[in-house]
Structure formats: C-alpha cells, structure tokens
C-alpha cells in the first residue's frame, strides 16, 4: 500500500498489513479483535470490506472482550492452531453438499467429478500444510500464458535446425459468434516423431481476406493462386506446389453423390426443431425425385420426423426412454448436411431403436412415423452400403500418423464394396432397389474421377509411399 499517497482512508488506523505465514498471501489484521481479512489489493475491492468488519457486531464484541491488544506476532502464531481445529471438523454430508452446490452454482456438468484432473487438483490441495488459496482470475490468465509459452518452447526445442515447419491457418467461430484464427505448426522432430503445435489463437474483429480452402474446389483455387504467384517471381528452379487432397473428404464426396442420387442426403445445416420443416424439405425433394426414389425419401422423412417429434419435448423423450428396458437409454438422432457420417449414425441409431420406435408410434398415436417391414429393409440396405464410408472416414479422421501409404488400399476396398453391392442389386426388380443401384453407379463414378487423379500427384508420391511401407511394398503394382 502506498502510504505516501495524498488520500489514505481513516480505516487503516485500526488495521496492520501482514502476510500469510506459509503462502505469503497479503492480509490485513484488525488490531482490536485480531481477525485477519484478505488484503484489499488482492481482490481490488477497496476498503469496503474493512469498514463492514468494523461495523459488524462480531468485531465490536470481540473488541470489548479483549482487555489488552493482541500483538501481530501473537496473532500469527495463533493462526495454525485455528486452522488445525477448523480442518479437524470434517463432515461427509457437508463435503457432498459443497460438491453439489459448487456444480450447480457454476453450471458445471456432473461428469466433471469423474475427470482425473479434478481428482488430481483435490489430491494436490490435500498435500498443503494449510488451506491453499485459489488463484486470482488475472493471475490465472498470466500463469496460463506463461505455461503455454514454456510448452511451445519445449516442443520447438525438438525441431532440428535445418528442418522445415509447416504453418496452417484455421478460422474458427465460437458458440457465441466470436471469430478466432488458430495458427498451427507441423513438423518432424529430431527423433522422427510427427508433432503438432498451436502457435497462436488470435481474435478477429473484422472480415478476413484469406482464401477459404476447406473443400476440394477451393483447394484447387488456392493451389493455383500460390503457383501463379511463384511463377511470377521467375525463380531459377521453378518450384512446384504439391497438393495431396484429403482422402476422407473424397470419401464423403462419393457418399454424398450416392445419397444425393436417391434424394437421401440431408438438406438442413442444423438440427430441425419443427416436423413441418422436415415435411417441407421432403415435399420439395419429392417433386424432383422419381417414383422409386420417393419411396426412400418417405422412409427417411419418417425417421427424421419421429426424431424431431421425440426430441422436441422432455416429456416425449422420457416416454421414449421408458420403452427401453435394457442398456443405456438412447434417443434418436437427426442428420445434418454439415456433419460427416451423420446420416449413417442416424440410420444406425434408428435401427438399434427399431422396437422402441414402433412401440412409441403405437402408444402415442403417431402412426404416420411408423416404418413398415419393407421400409426397415430399406434402412438395412442403406446401412450396409454406407458402413465402409463411415469406417474409413472415422479411421482417417482419428489418426495422427502418416496415411499416404494407405491410399491405394482404401480405394481398392471401396471399389470392391461398390462392385459387390452392384452385383447383388443388378438382378433385383423392386423399384427402390433399382434406385439404390443407380445411386451406387453414381457413387462409384465420383470415386473413380478422384482415383484417376492419383497419377497426377507430383513425383508419384502415392506410389513411393506405398512401396516404402513394409506391409505393402509392391502389393498394389
């Protein structure tokens, strides 16, 4: 505290500035009753807390009961005894209540009690000789920034001097519509381990001028723009920009072509809240669909409509849960255009809940959403056809290892799946099965168009990567 300031509150005549005997946290002690309070500079609350203590009945009573003023030294020596006596009064009921009140008041999920980090925090606090104090919010921000800087320097220390660092920019919008740019670095360390590093996460308050490159068409535009810029420099070695397209994205483009051929792909970017939205989308698509395609469209309309109907009300969802007697209680999920694999996940969940769905439609009176045996058969066909797309997309999205040597293997597996499915459906005469056959032909055509481009990759990178992999070598050649 600056005692040389022009204005000092009169309340300081009754207090002394002290520090915690273990942590060194700044405190103030009242000379009359010996009570210690947080220092005003810690919580930046001014002297209002000190004034309220002076005016409290507890403080005045404590002052009258003391015949002599307690010294600072005596008070500090008395603190450990007070803390030990306080800590000895532990109650499990109070401990459980504090946990519940903490979660509810801070709007935290109940599962946070299962997190290892939360349990680790409590264990560390138990090691303290006295009750530890929590960090101030501003101090937490400073410490977090320091820890991030230290971690970045530690990771970058593994970067060889002559190595290259790949920089990627990703624009990200938070649930509160705040825009940030993530700056990420990728490199191979001296031990040949693949490393990722977040170099920055900066807020943006204006429109950006970058080229969005998160899909196939924009990728091509970006690469061509970079190549043109390099060529304009007329460098002696004429460097070539090498682009390896994302295989998971290619798989999804083929799947979208397949589902779009039978008008089964979702049109909504977010989950619908009204059944009328589902029906309006279906009606618009039915106008452009053939009679055989309309059969599949109506099957998906029932699944999506029932999903929205059940999830629109907590009471309906509870009624649906009561029909599930075994295992975890699950609700149907709706697919969206902006989420990969969402249509497969919706169909898989619907098939798993087929019995509760039928019972729910019978009990609640929503017969228009009940699927017939033939319609459940359509779901089986769609699940069988789309399952490999889901499986390969999931594996490619999860892995952080190099996958260039798996390209030909995944292409071959998908082509075999297409050919087997087409062979099984070719002799079928039922209209909706013929529609699925046409969708398979559209999907394989899309996949073939991207497969032919693998030969155009500079330097035969796919072939070299596959041959160098011990498990493949010349297997695909």
Domain span at residue 108 reads 96-126
Which DSSP string do the residues of 43-76 spell out, in sequence order?
HT-TTHHHHHHHHSHHHHHHHHH-SSPPPHHHHH
Query: Do 230 and 263 belong to one domain?
Result: no
Query: Do 418 and 381 belong to one domain?
Result: yes
The mean pLDDT of the chain is 81
Tokens of 13: 């005549």
Out of 244, 277, 300, pick the residue that ends a domain: 244
pLDDT band at residue 82 using 50, 70 and 90 as cut-offs: very low
Residue 226 CB contacts under 8 Å (≥ 6 apart), including other chains: 241
Is residue 14 pLDDT above 80, yes or no? no
Query: Do 121 and 144 belong to one domain?
Result: no
Residue percentage of the chain with pLDDT more than 90: 27
Whole-angstrom distance, CA of residue 363 vs CA of residue 165: 61
> Per the domain annotation, does 84 fall within a domain?
no
Query: Do 239 and 262 belong to one domain?
Result: no
Tokens of 9: 């509150």
Q: How far is CA 96 from the centre of its chain?
A: 30
Query: Do 30 and 145 belong to one domain?
Result: no
> Per the domain annotation, does 4 fall within a domain?
no
Query: Do 144 and 209 belong to one domain?
Result: yes
Query: Do 120 and 179 belong to one domain?
Result: no
Is residue 265 pLDDT above 90, yes or no? no
> Per the domain annotation, does 25 fall within a domain?
yes
Phi/psi for 169 (5° steps) reads -115, 135
pLDDT band at residue 236 using 50, 70 and 90 as cut-offs: confident
Which residues make beta-bridge pairs with 18? 27
N residues, the chain = 477
Tokens of 395: 């594996």
- Find out whether 350 and 303 touch, Cβ atoms under 8 Å: yes
pLDDT band at residue 281 using 50, 70 and 90 as cut-offs: low
pLDDT band at residue 80 using 50, 70 and 90 as cut-offs: low
- State mean pLDDT over 20-48: 73
Whole-angstrom distance, CA of residue 45 vs CA of residue 25: 16
How many separate domains does the chain show? 4
Query: Do 363 and 457 belong to one domain?
Result: yes
Give the pLDDT confidence score for residue 258 in this predicted structure: 92
Beta strands 36-38 and 166-173 are unpaired
Query: Do 429 and 398 belong to one domain?
Result: yes
Output DSSP code: residue 367: G
> Per the domain annotation, does 409 fall within a domain?
yes
Phi/psi for 2 (5° steps) reads -85, 100
- Find out whether 444 and 255 touch, Cβ atoms under 8 Å: no
- What are the CA-CA distances from residue 74 to residues 18, 39, 67, 155, 274 (Å)? 12, 19, 15, 50, 70
**pTM of structure:** 0.61
> Per the domain annotation, does 134 fall within a domain?
no
Whole-angstrom distance, CA of residue 243 vs CA of residue 458: 8
Whole-angstrom distance, CA of residue 371 vs CA of residue 382: 15
Query: Do 424 and 323 belong to one domain?
Result: yes
What would the pLDDT profile of 102-127 be if each residue is shown by its tens digit?
A: 999 988 899 999 999 999 998 998 88
Q: Which of 27-36, 76-85, 355-364 has the lowest mean pLDDT?
A: 76-85
Which DSSP string do the residues of 369-415 spell out, in sequence order?
G---HHHHHHHHHHHHHHHHHHHHHHHHHH--S--GGGHHHHHHHHH
Is residue 320 pLDDT above 50, yes or no? yes
Query: Do 342 and 217 belong to one domain?
Result: no
- Find out whether 351 and 386 touch, Cβ atoms under 8 Å: no
> Per the domain annotation, does 227 fall within a domain?
yes
- What are the CA-CA distances from residue 292 to residues 79, 286, 297, 378 (Å)? 83, 10, 9, 12
What would the pLDDT profile of 146-195 be if each residue is shown by its tens digit?
A: 998 898 888 888 888 887 888 888 877 776 678 888 889 988 888 888 88
pLDDT band at residue 323 using 50, 70 and 90 as cut-offs: very high
Tokens of 172: 């990200």
Whole-angstrom distance, CA of residue 355 vs CA of residue 353: 6
Of 160-169, 171-180, 399-408, 432-441, the range with the highest mean pLDDT is 432-441
Residue 186 CB contacts under 8 Å (≥ 6 apart), including other chains: 165, 166, 168, 194, 195, 196, 197
Query: Do 273 and 154 belong to one domain?
Result: no
Which residues make beta-bridge pairs with 167? 185
Tokens of 457: 């990759």
Phi/psi for 28 (5° steps) reads -130, 145
> Per the domain annotation, does 376 fall within a domain?
yes
Q: Which of 63-72, 129-138, 355-364, 426-435 has the lowest mean pLDDT?
A: 63-72
> Per the domain annotation, does 1 fall within a domain?
no
């Amino acid at each position: 505290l600056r005692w040389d300031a022009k204005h000092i509150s009169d309340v300081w005549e009754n207090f002394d500035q002290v520090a915690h005997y273990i942590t060194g946290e700044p405190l103030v002690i009242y000379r009359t009753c010996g009570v210690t309070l947080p220092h005003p500079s810690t919580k930046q609350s001014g002297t209002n807390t000190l004034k309220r203590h002076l005016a409290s009945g507890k403080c005045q009573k404590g002052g009258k009961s003391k015949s002599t003023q307690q010294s600072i030294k005596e008070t500090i020596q008395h603190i450990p005894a007070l803390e030990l006596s306080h800590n000895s009064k532990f109650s499990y009921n109070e401990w459980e209540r504090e946990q519940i009140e903490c979660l509810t008041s801070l709007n935290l999920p109940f599962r946070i009690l299962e997190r290892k980090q939360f349990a680790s925090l409590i264990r560390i606090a138990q090691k303290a000789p006295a009750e530890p104090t929590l960090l101030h919010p501003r101090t937490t921000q400073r410490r977090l920034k320091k820890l991030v800087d230290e971690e970045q320097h530690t990771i970058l220390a593994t970067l060889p001097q002559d190595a290259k660092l790949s920089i990627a920019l990703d624009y990200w919008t938070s649930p509160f519509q705040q825009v940030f740019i993530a700056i990420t670095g990728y490199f191979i360390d001296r031990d040949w381990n693949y490393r990722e590093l977040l170099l920055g996460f900066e807020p943006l308050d204006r429109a950006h001028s970058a080229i969005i490159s998160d899909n196939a068409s924009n990728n091509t535009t970006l690469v061509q723009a970079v190549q043109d810029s390099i060529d304009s420099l007329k460098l002696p070695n004429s460097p070539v920009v090498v682009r390896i397209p994302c295989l998971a994205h290619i798989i999804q483009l083929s799947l979208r072509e397949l589902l779009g051929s039978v008008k089964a792909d979702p049109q909504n970017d977010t989950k619908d809240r009204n059944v009328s939205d589902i029906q309006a989308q279906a009606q618009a698509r039915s106008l452009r669909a053939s009679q055989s395609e309309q059969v599949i469209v109506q099957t998906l309309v029932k699944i999506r409509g029932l999903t929205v109907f059940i999830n629109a009300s907590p009471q309906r969802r509870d009624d649906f849960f009561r029909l599930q007697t075994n295992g975890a209680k699950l609700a149907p999920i709706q697919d969206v255009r902006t989420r990969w694999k969402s249509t497969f996940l919706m169909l898989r969940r619907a098939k798993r809940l087929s019995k509760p769905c039928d019972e729910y439609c019978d009990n609640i009176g929503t017969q228009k959403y009940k699927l017939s045996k033939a319609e459940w058969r359509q779901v089986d066909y769609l699940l069988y056809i789309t399952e490999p797309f889901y499986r390969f997309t999931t594996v490619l999205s999860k892995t952080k290892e190099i996958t260039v040597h798996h390209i030909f293997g995944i292409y071959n597996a998908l082509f075999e799946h297409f050919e087997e499915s087409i062979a099984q459906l070719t002799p079928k005469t039922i209209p909706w099965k013929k529609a699925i056959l046409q969708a398979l032909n559209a999907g394989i055509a899309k996949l073939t168009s991207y497969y032919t481009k693998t030969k155009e990759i500079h330097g035969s990178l796919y072939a070299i990567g596959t041959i160098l992999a011990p498990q493949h070598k010349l297997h695909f050649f």
